[in-house]
Amino acid sequence: MADTRDIPTLVVEGDDDQWVIIGLLDKHGVDMNPAFRPIKLAVAKDSSTGAKGIVPLLANMAIQIQLATDRPIGFVVDVDLSCADRWAEVSKCLVAAGITPPASCPPDGFIGRMPGRSFDCGVWMMPDCVLDHGKLEHLLKTLVPAGDPLWPLAESSTEDAKSKGAKFRKLDLDKATMHCWLAWQEEPGVPFGRAVTSNYFGHDSAEAKAFLRWLKILFNLNGLATI
């Protein structure tokens, strides 16, 4: 059942982002049962085609900020490009909403406010608001248990497969490596979010904690008191 409560919204690019964030919050003590969770996670989607991702997220960012008159709203985007290029795209949306953004994304995430409003909006660029070409998989890589003997094998196997004609794009190497590594876990091939809740991934890398601190400040998540 869809959550119809009047709670703050975090807009993300896709289902993996949604479930990883839910898993991280749950692991850090925030009740993410749909009936009680303190924020609503919404996957950006084109209303005509149903396509998900960065294009509909950016296309609707300004109007979503303007409509969020009585509660905070946040957006999580993959960098994909250079950080400067992605921030330039995000900045255009913020300006269209009436917000003056800084020249670059703050390394602890952007939080700003439209003039005359009493609630903030925020933007986080995965994984750490700094890494060029970064995305969700780069954050997950920081959550692979230290010293895991299968991770370097997954890296070398995936690179070897690419050299022998594997069809994935070079820019998706980290995603392919992550799925390779997950294929070797107790339950092979679980989605990223369930891999967090099933403890295949950790949940407390420095990068994950920085992201959670941004969420805590933007949404006043008291359940994250220890972050």
- Tell me: pLDDT of 180 over 60: yes
- Tokens 């920085």 correspond to what residue? 210
Q: Are residues 207 and 116 in the same domain?
A: yes
Bridging pattern class, strands 73-78 and 121-126: parallel
110 and 39 within one domain = yes
Contact in structure between 60 and 27 (CB atoms under 8 Å): no
Indicate if 80 and 176 belong to the same structural domain.
no
Mean pLDDT of 57-83: 96
The answer to whether position 4 is within a domain reads no
Residue 1 lies in a domain: no
Alpha helix ranges (H) inside the chain: 15-27, 54-67, 83-96, 136-141, 150-163, 173-182, 192-197, 206-219
Same domain, 164 and 123: no
Give the predicted TM-score (pTM) of the model. Answer: 0.94
Q: Do the domain assignments include residue 2?
A: no
Q: Is residue 99 part of a domain?
A: yes
- Asked whether residue 32 falls in the same domain as residue 132, the answer is yes
CA dihedral defined by 22, 124, 65, 54, rounded to 10 degrees?
A: -80
Is 127 a member of any domain? Answer: yes
Query: 156: which 2 tokens?
Result: 């070398």
Residue type at 168 in one-letter notation: F
Same domain, 190 and 217: no
Comparing 50-59, 202-211, 217-226, the range with the smallest average pLDDT is 217-226
Same domain, 70 and 152: no
Is position 191 within any domain? yes
Q: Report if residue 3 sits inside a domain.
A: no
Could you tell me if residue 215 is inside a domain? Answer: yes
Task: Verify that 30 and 92 share a domain, yes or no.
Answer: yes
Q: Is residue 65 located within the same domain as residue 124?
A: yes
Does residue 104 share a domain with residue 211? yes
Pairing, β 110-112 against β 121-126: antiparallel
In whole angstroms, how far apart are CA 70 and each of 4, 58, 74, 123, 134?
15, 21, 13, 18, 32
| Domain identity same for 105 and 180 | no
Q: Which domain holds residue 188?
A: 144-197
What's the structural domain count of the chain?
2
Confidence of residue 134 (pLDDT cuts 50, 70, 90): very high
Q: Let me know whether 52 and 67 are in one domain.
A: yes
Residue 4 has pLDDT above 70, yes or no: no
Apex 89 CA angle, 84 and 92, nearest 5: 120
In this prediction, residues 62-85 reach a mean pLDDT of: 96
